[in-house]
Amino acid sequence: MASYSVLVKRSVYKTLSALPKADVKRLTDAMIRLADDPHPPQSKRLTNDERYRLRVGDYRILYTIEHAVLVVTVVKVGHRRDVYR
């Protein structure tokens, strides 16, 4: 299986800069792993949307997948109580 490219939106970088370093490390590791497997077992497709979510502790990574060009785009990262708003 070919490796995907992971693109991260600027707003995600801004969100990550406000989080504790330990959480940022876990989240970035999870984003990097999306390049090898964009559909890990703990990910789910969001209802009525083309996005997926990945649980990382109390945080969620929302991302889209473009299979035709092998690109995973991280759209949003945040605490589980705020990320879906």
State residue 80 phi and psi, 5-degree precision: -60, -25
Mean pLDDT throughout 46-57? 94
Going from N- to C-terminal start, the domains of the chain cover 5-79
9, two tokens: 């939106």
Helix axes 10-17, 21-33, angle to 10 degrees: 150
Supply the pLDDT for residue 1: 64
How far is the C-alpha of 27 from the C-alpha of 78, rounded, in Å?
10
Supply the pLDDT for residue 46: 94
pLDDT over 70 at 66, yes or no: yes
In this prediction the pTM is 0.93
Supply the pLDDT for residue 12: 97
Residue 14, H or E segment: helix 10-17
Among 3.40.109.10, 3.40.50.300, 3.30.70.20, 3.30.2310.20, what is the CATH number of 5-79? 3.30.2310.20
pLDDT over 90 at 37, yes or no: yes
